[in-house]
Amino acid sequence: MMKTITAADGHTLDCWFEDPVGARRGGIVILQEIFGVTEQLKGVARKYAELGYEVAVPALFDRIEPKAAVDFDDFERARALMMASDLSDNLCDIDATINALKANGGKVAVIGFCWGGGLALRCAQSLDIAAAVAFYGTRLNLYLDRPLAKPFLGHFGLADSHVPIEMIEEAKAAMPDMEIHMYEAGHAFANEARTAYVPAAAEVAHARTQEFLATHLK
């Protein structure tokens, strides 16, 4: 369900919550693609809630355009919202979401997709989380200024024009503790609502993510 949470600077934002199924195993913050809190992303939240995690998806565009959810084919509008976002504001809102999950007990991890994948890397460098996962995280070159502080798992497509191999290699060189897996796929390969979806790659990536979370959220 959609709830409202308050960040440390007083900003209020929407946040989609999914209650855990069965015994609670900890919390997961899911960070959006550039399209906002979409129905597809809510489905991902349900997938992980079914594994016993309490899941929250903060609306990171709320400071710019409240309740923004952009169609997948409206790339220009989605990119404009992303470019208008401020990294420090994003981290403030993510941190508020982390704290909302921590209030219910247990450790918290972050999973980000696309733009949110790059933000997940920054979270692993600077926020109090147990671990972070990125699915085809973009703009990795913006996050090379500090080391990893928490375990980080990255999933990337070999044919991803948004995240060239050179960018991934540069990030890996800067942060050798990264665990990186490459897939025969392009960008957005784990989004079943987009034409780039590659079921086999998505299945393996989610399985590796589940194993990673089970290790670091126990």
- 71: Cβ contacts below 8 Å, ≥ 6 apart: 35
Number of H helices, E strands in the chain: 6, 8
**Which pLDDT value is given to residue 31?**
98
| pLDDT tens track for 60-93 | 999 999 999 999 999 999 999 999 999 999 999 9
Q: 């129905």: which residue's tokens?
A: 39
Q: pLDDT: is 218 or 152 the higher one?
A: 152
* Structure token pair of residue 207: 């399985």
**Which pLDDT value is given to residue 187?**
98
Residues 44 and 40: their CA atoms lie apart, in Å, by: 7
**Which pLDDT value is given to residue 140?**
97
Q: What is the CATH number of the domain that holds 193?
A: 3.40.50.1820
Where does the pLDDT of residue 185 fall: very low under 50, low under 70, confident under 90, or very high at 90 and above? very high
Q: 């952009």: which residue's tokens?
A: 70
Mean pLDDT of 141-163: 97
| pLDDT tens track for 5-49 | 999 999 999 999 999 999 999 999 999 999 999 999 999 999 999
Full domain range(s) for residue 21: 2-216
pTM beyond 0.95: the answer is yes
* Structure token pair of residue 201: 């790659």
* Structure token pair of residue 109: 């991890």
Beta carbons within 10 angstroms of residue 159's beta carbon: 14
Residues 92 and 2: their CA atoms lie apart, in Å, by: 19
Contact by Cβ (8 Å): 27, 106: yes
Contact by Cβ (8 Å): 158, 214: no
**Which pLDDT value is given to residue 101?**
98
Residues 178 and 8: their CA atoms lie apart, in Å, by: 30
Tell me which amino acid residue 134 is. Answer: A
The count of structural domains within the chain is 1
